[in-house]
Amino acid sequence: MTITDVSSLLPIITKSELPPVDKARATALALNYPSQWENFDGNIVATEMELKVEMKNCNGWVLAGIIDTLAERDGEYIMIEHKTRSGDVDNVGDGYYRRLAHDMQITMYHILLECNGYPVEQTIYDVVRKLTTLCRRIPAGKMGDENVKVGSRAEMCKLGSYHGMDLDGKDLAWLAAYMEKLAVDDTLEPLKESPKLYGLRMAVAIAERPEKYFKQYGQIRRSYEEVEHALAGLRQVCQQIDATDPTDLAVWPMNTAQCNSYGTACEFMDVCAGVQDINGDQYQDRKQRSCPKELSHSKLCSYHGCKRKYHYRYNMGKEHVRQRAPALEFGSVMHLYFAAYFDMKKNG
């Protein structure tokens, strides 16, 4: 098996705004990612494919979505959706996979693809585990041994490698400076991995047990009935939105059960708590505003989750000025990398 050289794609990660440890984590995953897709025998048709379709008998509403990757094999289309998660990826019996299997997003994307001439045979979720471990202290190892301990200072000094991966001149200079200090001060704190060394260790760990970090969860299909039921539900949502006055705050109720979804505070919390004004300087006009009659999966989730949030976000077109949460940034950078990798596959 030939593994694609992804070095030209790594600047997506190394030049991103991620903190150094997250860059190391993302790089370790990125280096191992091609091994999961090298044997995929489908042809890549498109990545980041923006699709729209007007819903029939629905007062001008349009369904919209961006498909991560579309492939074709033997005349059948396969949708590939990329996901990053912090938990285990190898237990397909857990709730995470059960939810993915019936996720409305996939049903909407099946409809979008079908109506645009790409009938989907199956969806494959491409799930990648986000690393959550940290840089650790490097054990001294036995400097006198012939066979030095892997991942020790002895390995670095004697072999110029860490976990079998070659160190560069900068790493060696950093090590030499530490050893010089240690020679005159034996109370010196143990050497701690730099983000780069941590990334090397993780790259090796992932290569040894890729099943812990990558999962392709496929054979997800949608029946005619499922699509019909989904369309009926989507039409209902569109009719409800059309029937609700977009200028009357009172008819867009709060759902406080959603204020801390996935452990992240809602961006409109301060407004709902009465300490900020939605028209104040903590809020700005959304940079990417969709057409008011466009229904995406995120818009649908927002509507179902909290109507007040939908109102602020989509009727008023507001967003908080703060930067996005680090976990979201990690997922976004990885998504850019996955798209670039499949683009590379598409272009041969």
Among the candidate windows 142-150, 170-178, 267-275, 330-338, which touches ligand SF4 by CB under 6 A?
267-275
Residue 178 in the binding site for ligand SF4 (CB under 6 A)? no
Check: CB of residue 335 under 8 Å from CB of residue 68: yes
63/104 Cα distance (integer angstroms): 13
Identify the residue among 63, 71, 100, 306 touching ligand SF4 (CB under 6 A): 306
Residue 277's SS3 state is coil
* Eight-state DSSP code of residue 286: -
Binding mask 208-247 for ligand SF4 (x = CB under 6 A): ----------------------------------------
The answer for residues whose C-beta is within 8 angstroms of residue 44's C-beta and 6 or more apart is 69, 70, 71, 342, 343, 345, 346
Residue 254 in the binding site for ligand SF4 (CB under 6 A)? yes
Residue 332 in the binding site for ligand SF4 (CB under 6 A)? no
**Residues 46, 49, 54, 55, Cα dihedral to 10°:** 90
Listed in sequence order, the DSSP H helices in 209-310 are 224-242, 269-272, 297-305, 307-310
Among the candidate windows 58-66, 110-118, 178-186, 254-262, which touches ligand SF4 by CB under 6 A?
254-262
Residue 259 in the binding site for ligand SF4 (CB under 6 A)? yes
290/296 Cα distance (integer angstroms): 9
Among the candidate windows 49-57, 289-297, 306-314, 323-331, which touches ligand SF4 by CB under 6 A?
306-314
Binding mask 9-48 for ligand SF4 (x = CB under 6 A): ----------------------------------------
Which tokens belong to 180? Answer: 């010089």
Residue 298 in the binding site for ligand SF4 (CB under 6 A)? no
Residue 91 in the binding site for ligand SF4 (CB under 6 A)? no
Residue 191 in the binding site for ligand SF4 (CB under 6 A)? no
Q: Where are the beta strands (DSSP E) in the chain?
A: 43-54, 62-73, 76-85, 120-129, 161-162, 165-166, 214-220, 283-285, 294-295, 318-320
Interface with ligand SF4 (CB under 6 A)? 254-256, 258-259, 266, 268-269, 272, 306, 308-309
